[in-house]
Amino acid sequence: MTIGPIHASKVDLFLACNQSLRGDLATEPDFAEAATAMGTAVHAVLEQWIMHHKHAVLEQWGMHHKPSGPTRMIGDIAPRVAEGHGVDLAELESLCQRTLNACAHIREPLWGARHAELRAEARIKTKLVSARLDHLRIGWGHDRDGNRTGPFSIAVLDWKTGRELRAKPGQLYAYASAACVAAGGFPSQGWVYTGEIWCRHDQVIQRKITAERLAAFEDKLKRALDRPSDTYKPGAHCGFCPRADTCEARVARLKSTADALGGLPALPDAKTIAPADLARLYDKAQDLGRLLDQYYKILNAAIEQHGPIDVGDGSRLELREMTKTEIDAKAAWRHLRQAGLSDEEINDVLSVAKGKLERAVKAKHPRGKKESAWSELFGVLRAADAIRESSYRKRERIHA
């Protein structure tokens, strides 16, 4: 059975388990990344920004790094997009800006090319893959007479807005493969540059894909497409599989996870389990967490539809209206004073939300002055010792 071409975003899942995609599932729009409204909005803003600054981008990112400039235009584009997608404007602007800042430090890909071409959201379909490249740069080589000889350099950048950093090498190889087809060949520079820009993490995963590696990837994908295995291979990727809800192999894996955890709800004994064994359970535990989230959604919907449900042990599950109490600081201020609270005590119970404050300050200034107004106020607050910073430890997965 032959399927394909395969959607680039599904290549990693497909190579991990052929059973995940069958027939038309392989080329349907991406289900796994479930493009969030924020992710879509970030892509929309960056596409408009990049095409507006096409020549400046080529010059800045290819040869002369000038990090200033993009803020104002992001501010021009983002409000309409934020409104259209129903997302928070400050977060959207911040994610776009962080992406551009990360990109501004990528200078290498186009060095040596005399003329370059830039495309945003480039749709490319080949015999193997279909892809939509967030950002494609092709640097053209020329002979002594100035005639174009073919691609000298190719760079592919991919914006990632996910909260969990999951490297997807197969997707980037698929992009590289598609980009070479679009450029009419492999770049004479000797590699295709790819960069995954994880804007929430301020991380860029960079690769230089040589012709040999790309050929090996294409060969592997072609073999998998021509002769998909009928073996199920459950793993961390199951959480992103369209068959996940019904797959017995996944359920068996989750059951073994529960067993490995000592049977739910018991946890492994922290004193006796080896740290390496604990870390090895991480992927499975995350998958289990996603499954539990689905379970809670289904359960809530059932209670919504049928009313309280008996658990069978004399208890029942029901949805109860909860009240969240908030105190309006402006209205309460005078009364807190009258109640005898000191500055320190009021300070302990009231807090200024930095994100909201930033938004309020920027809203008071015209375009082009917003950033400087906020920086100035932040500097004043810091000088007045009003800024409190604390560090905390957060578990992160680092990919080599």
> Applying CB under 6 A, which residues contact ligand SF4?
17, 19-20, 232-234, 237-238, 241, 243-244, 247, 249-250
Nearest distance from C-beta of residue 24 to ligand SF4, angstroms:
16
- From 121, 93, 104, select the one nearest 57 (Cα to Cα): 104
- From 335, 11, 359, 350, select the one nearest 172 (Cα to Cα): 11
Compute the distance between CA of residue 194 and CA of residue 156 in angstroms, rounded to an integer.
5
Handedness of CA 100, 103, 107, 112 (dihedral sign): negative
- From 187, 204, 182, select the one nearest 195 (Cα to Cα): 204
Nearest distance from C-beta of residue 240 to ligand SF4, angstroms:
8
| 57 or 241: CB nearest ligand SF4 | 241
Nearest distance from C-beta of residue 242 to ligand SF4, angstroms:
8
Nearest distance from C-beta of residue 344 to ligand SF4, angstroms:
55
Compute the distance between CA of residue 290 and CA of residue 286 in angstroms, rounded to an integer.
6
Compute the distance between CA of residue 194 and CA of residue 109 in angstroms, rounded to an integer.
9
| 14 or 173: CB nearest ligand SF4 | 14
- From 140, 76, 146, 92, select the one nearest 114 (Cα to Cα): 140
Residue ranges of alpha helices (H) inside the chain are 11-16, 37-52, 54-62, 70-85, 89-104, 169-183, 211-226, 248-260, 275-280, 282-306, 329-338, 343-349, 354-363, 370-383
| 282 or 333: CB nearest ligand SF4 | 282
Nearest distance from C-beta of residue 33 to ligand SF4, angstroms:
15
Nearest distance from C-beta of residue 367 to ligand SF4, angstroms:
47
| 248 or 385: CB nearest ligand SF4 | 248
Side-chain half-sphere CA neighbours of 243 within 13 A: 19
| 142 or 233: CB nearest ligand SF4 | 233
| 21 or 103: CB nearest ligand SF4 | 21
Nearest distance from C-beta of residue 372 to ligand SF4, angstroms:
50
Residues 6+ apart with CB under 8 A from 273: none
- Nearest 10 degrees: CA dihedral of 40, 176, 213, 7? 60
- From 340, 242, 234, select the one nearest 288 (Cα to Cα): 234
| 128 or 241: CB nearest ligand SF4 | 241
| 236 or 336: CB nearest ligand SF4 | 236
Nearest distance from C-beta of residue 163 to ligand SF4, angstroms:
21
